[in-house]
Chain A
Amino acid sequence: MMEVLLLALVIAAGTWFGGWWAVPVAAAIWAAWRRHPAWRAGVAGAISWSALLALTIPIPALWRLAPRLGGILGLPGWAVLLVPPLFAGMLGWSAARVAGEVRARVNGER
């Protein structure tokens, strides 16, 4: 659990200072460093972006924007709030899974 939170922190910092690409890069490095279930990187990605949304943006403004952005994406306001964590989660999971596979092949683990 601590490991996931730590990864989430790294992803959040990377996103803050770098951009969205910090999610796949951090997840891939984490998975290449040692063997982990990839879903944990997905959870870390989702947690980090949820935290960035919830902790750095005033909630009233978030609620005003959600239905307007939702209208553009064809989603209800509450659902559109789930899109960034979902995106980061899928990005983190897929990058970790691919990086883990590369690591396994390179190390001859299978």
Chain B
Amino acid sequence: MRLSHAGTALALAVLIALVGLSLRPPAPIPPLGPLLDPVTGAWSAARQAELPRRASAVIRGLTHPVDVRYDDRGVPHIFAVTEPDAVRALGYVVARDRLFQLELQAGAGAGRLTEIAGRAALRLDREMRGLGLPDAARRRLAALPAHDRRLLDAFADGVNAWIDHLGRNRPFEYALLGRVPERWAPVNSLNLLGRMGWTLAHSDLEDLHAAAAQAVGARAADALYPIESPVQEPLQPNGERAPRFSRTPLPAPSGALAARRAEGPAVIPADSGSIENDAIGSNNWAVSAARSASGHALLAGDQHLELTLPAIWYEVHLVVADSLDVYGVTIPGSPGVLIGFNRDVAWTFTNTEADVMDQYAEVVDNLQSPARYRIDGVWHDLRLETERFLGRRGELLAVDTLRFTHRGPLRRSAEGWRSVRWTVLESGGELGAFGRAARATSAAGWLDSMAGYQAPAQNMLVGDRQGSIAIRSTGRFPIRPGGRGDVVQRGDTSASDWSGDWFLAELPQASNPAQGYLASANQQPIDPRVNPNYLGANWYSPWRAIRINELLRADSAVTPDAMRRFQTDPGSPAADIFAPAFLTAARFAQDDTVRRAAALLAQWDRRYTRENTRAVLYESATGQLQKLLWDELDGVEPVPGLAVTAALLSDSSSIWWDDHRTPQVEDRDRLLARALALALRETLRLHGEPDAGGWRWDRIRYANIYHLLRIPSLSALRVPVQGGQSTLNPSSGRGDFGPSWRMVVELGPELRAWGVYPGGQSGNPASSRYLDRLAHWRDGQLDTLRIPRAAAELTRHETSSLELLPDAALP
């Protein structure tokens, strides 16, 4: 009897525990019963892993039936009668493959991630809302032209039709998080654009310059984070046949550093690890008909963005009878193709990296809780907005009051309050520009269509079937009365306000240049000798641009396959400069470690191939060099780019080579040799002896493609790739940034195209299309893109079809 009671008590405890964990588990555990339920739980994702051979659905608002055919790469080809119908279908198919990604990205753009991820996302949400991005999206939606608004509504109809169709069948991540999909609102698409603006056009040059100026003086800070890149290889050809290096000596440090020097040497910190850079940036280039083997223009592009699963891009083909036939990639949530081609024109982007965000030190009435700000001696009311941040269960996490001046959001800083003016918050017209550009029939017409595009500014490269190529840094570039935007402006005078924008004709651009090719890779887009007006500062080092130009100069009969190979080229112009410099510096060294390091480095062919075993030493040496060299900055991050260091190499006795933490005075060669020795010690410590296998590059550097929730088992980690810091296939830092969409297009009589992105079309981890493109991406291969003019042309490669019907078609 006692045993029986114990058994019942145990059963009761088990029952209470299981039911409790199923109904209201402690965070972060998801409700167990719904999670494990084989019908609607996490496992149900496997039931919907593959697209059915045939399917049909009804979408509200559709005016005509839409025929969707999926090819053997999982790409939907949408054949519609009207553009809004095509966009409705786009919303439906994107949601079908990527619903959770849609919701997560919209949440991120709206500053509502806490509702999905909880308190951990509060800081990021505050940043989004504090910058005024969701506020700007709401205002932009209200001012949207009717046609653009119709497209956003149509996209929302499509997404919501899929959500309605889902019923109890939630995608995998929803089961994990215990959530149900939220209905899609048109403003989400604009929040997404705002979020892209934050990724691509957000800068804090003012803070960087101020910190550097405090450490080494304003004049030195100007030189270390320069308005004019010390190595020039602009996208607008400047008439030079090689990169132009600045020979201007760096001014000596002053200010706080000078005082520290007088105190004598400081202690060298124990931490001497290598400096890592994130591989964010992009490449694009095009060759005219005259320089291609086939006599047709060629275009290539690869955007280096965050690598995620599912990928940031979704591939799609939209066909609207007699008006639109566009293929390419969209960001889930956008109502159209962003990068791709039509039957006549192909286009791709790199980020311009221009400075389009300024800070103003405002005079406010109350430092604790300002309600007014003063300008030209007159007080003005701040616009106040209250923002509420909710948790996963709808609980209130925080309430913020946002303040806005006429310039933009007002934010607290160490010295008081600063307002921010940012083109991303004032942009508009992007949707219409993309829509018109998709219908262009020539490169010039395509650029004309993009004239109204404002933000985030992009280096837009385009080629056409007539053999023309053109590029333009397109966007809104403000004119500052003071001439520069990398220092904090006075807020109490309207004289600080932007006085206009660059005219279209002034933008960095080129069309059919005599050299026969064009290239951009986030470098300073125009040589300051051609146009000295302020466009930005602390530019990306132009190594990738230099390499593309080297490759294109050397090949007068470029083929699509050569374009593909260039995309993963392992060469590094930076290594071509710094590796010899290290070897020269070590030539007369007496130190055994330096001599051994130099002997090992001399064995490197300066190529970041996967199997090579010397790149690791070079990477470590440049990291050490940057740390030793910029000791004067006393922790200011990031340190000046390698282009500044490269220019400094010509000044062997510059005061900057001296490490002020040591009693002796170093010159260039002494510091280079020391960096090399430190690098060898560090590499031996971390990776063992040189030829024991630990120095192989693919064991050191790899891509880490995380699932959106950063769950390792849903991610592709330690993916070996060819490339390194500053190569065309950049691989550095944590490995979670890199080429997110590689595309090559040949603009012949019948356009041909190839492309790949890491991951696959499906966001469902149980799908065969979750990771099916990864191997090709890893190996630098491209898939042939199928571009049918009509549904019937696809038959041989069709894997699934979907018929979308107007609701009037219901019985």
Question: Which residues does A use to contact B, with CB under 8 Å?
Answer: 15-16, 19-21, 24, 38, 49, 52-53, 56-58, 60-62, 64-65, 67-72, 83-84, 87-88, 90-91, 93-95, 97-98, 101, 110
Contacts and interface: CB of A to CB of B under 8 A. Distances in A.
Contacts of B47: 56-58, 61
A101 B301 CA distance: 71
A21 B37 CA distance: 9
Contacts of A83: 36
Contacts of A97: 7-8, 11-12
Interface string B1-29: 10000011001101100110010000000
Interface residues of B, number: 38
Nearest to B30: A72
Contacts of B33: 19-21, 87, 91
B45 interface: yes
A87 B766 contact: no
A95 B13 CA distance: 10
Contacts of B560: none
Contacts of A69: 42-43, 713
Contact of A71 (B38, B40, B711): B711
10 contacts: A20-B33, A20-B34, A53-B43, A57-B38, A57-B43, A62-B766, A64-B46, A71-B713, A94-B14, A95-B15
B640 interface: no
A52 B39 contact: yes
Given A62-B766, A64-B765, 13 more contacts: A19-B33, A20-B33, A20-B41, A49-B36, A52-B39, A53-B38, A57-B38, A61-B50, A68-B714, A70-B713, A72-B176, A87-B32, A91-B15
A39 to B, nearest CB: 10
Interface in B30-68: 32-34, 36-47, 49-50
Nearest to A70: B713
Interface in B745-799: 765-768, 770
A60 B764 CA distance: 14
A107 B43 CA distance: 41
A49 B38 contact: yes
A19 B711 CA distance: 27
Contacts of A70: 713
A72 B711 contact: yes
B43 A24 contact: no
A57 B14 contact: no
Nearest to A74: B713
Contacts of B12: 94, 97-98
Interface in B523-554: none
A49 B714 CA distance: 24
Given A15-B37, A71-B711, A98 B176 contact: no
A24 B40 CA distance: 17
Contacts of A91: 15, 18-19, 33
A13 to B, nearest CB: 11
Nearest to A19: B37
Contact of B11 (A53, A67, A98): A98
Nearest to A20: B33
Nearest to A90: B14
Scoring A15, A71, A97 by chain B CB atoms within 10 A of each residue's CB, the highest score goes to A97
A107 to B, nearest CB: 15
B481 interface: no
Interface string B141-184: 00000000000000000000000000000001000100000000
A88 B19 CA distance: 11
A101 B8 contact: yes
B43 A65 contact: yes
B712 interface: yes
B45 A65 contact: yes
Contacts of A67: 713
A15 B18 contact: no
B350 to A, nearest CB: 34
Contacts of A19: 33-34, 37, 39-40
Contacts of A49: 36, 38
Contact of A62 (B7, B19, B43, B176): B43
Given A16-B39, A19-B33, A87-B32, A58 B46 contact: yes
B38 A56 contact: yes
A69 B711 CA distance: 10
Task: Among A16, A53, A60, A68, find the residue whose CB has the most chain B CB atoms closer than 10 A.
Answer: A68
Contact of A94 (B15, B43, B711, B768): B15
A64 B768 contact: yes
A94 B16 CA distance: 9
B8 A20 contact: no
A79 B755 CA distance: 38
Contacts of B7: 97
A60 B714 CA distance: 17
Contacts of B713: 67-72
Contact of B768 (A24, A52, A60, A98): A60
Nearest to B44: A57
Given A24-B15, A72-B711, A97-B8, A87 B38 contact: no
Contacts of B14: 90, 93-94
A96 to B, nearest CB: 8
Nearest to B37: A20
Contacts of A38: 11
B766 A61 contact: yes
A87 B19 CA distance: 11
Contacts of A110: 1
Q: Which residue among A19, A69, A110 has the maximum number of chain B CB atoms within 10 Å of its CB?
A: A69
B28 to A, nearest CB: 11
Contacts of A68: 713-714, 765-766
B32 A57 contact: no
A97 B6 CA distance: 11
B773 to A, nearest CB: 16
Nearest to B711: A72
Contacts of B766: 61-62, 64-65, 68
B46 A87 contact: no
B638 to A, nearest CB: 34
A84 B714 contact: no
10 closest A-B pairs by CB: A71-B713, A20-B33, A97-B11, A61-B49, A65-B766, A61-B46, A94-B15, A52-B38, A94-B14, A94-B11
Nearest to A101: B8
A10 to B, nearest CB: 15
A84 B8 contact: no
A33 to B, nearest CB: 18
Nearest to A96: B11
B36 A20 contact: yes
Nearest to B45: A65
Given A15-B39, A21-B33, A58 B49 contact: yes
Interface string B505-522: 000000000000000000
Contact of B18 (A16, A58, A84, A87): A87
Given A58-B49, A60-B768, A84 B15 contact: no
A87 to B, nearest CB: 5
A107 B93 CA distance: 59
A53 B770 CA distance: 21
